[in-house]
Amino acid sequence: MVGAGLMRRPAGMAFGWGIQVLSILLGFAVPVMFVVGLIFLALWAGSVYLGGRIDRERAERAALG
């Protein structure tokens, strides 16, 4: 919940990346978390990439008309 609320602020992106790193580091305590953390990292990176792409497309559309 906190992460979703922070995404409108610059600190939200850093918070999200930090959570991904922590989820992977949890693998030292629970080994399966290495796999789960990498899966969540891939999902996070994909959503960041696609979100940026959507924002760029919206800005282009707004500039055209």
Mean pLDDT, 10 residues at a time, over the chain (65 residues)? 78 92 96 96 95 96 91
Q: Are 59 and 46 in contact (CB under 8 A)?
A: no
Query: Rounded to whole angstroms, what are the CA distances from 17 to 35, 38, 63, 65?
Result: 17, 12, 31, 35
Per-domain residue ranges for the chain? 12-64
pLDDT at site 7: 78
What's the token pair of residue 51?
A: 């979100």
Predicted pLDDT at 24: 95
Give the Cα separation of 10 and 36 in Å (integer). 26
Return the CA Rg of the chain. 15
Question: What number of residues does the chain have?
Answer: 65
Q: What tokens were used for 2? A: 């906190």
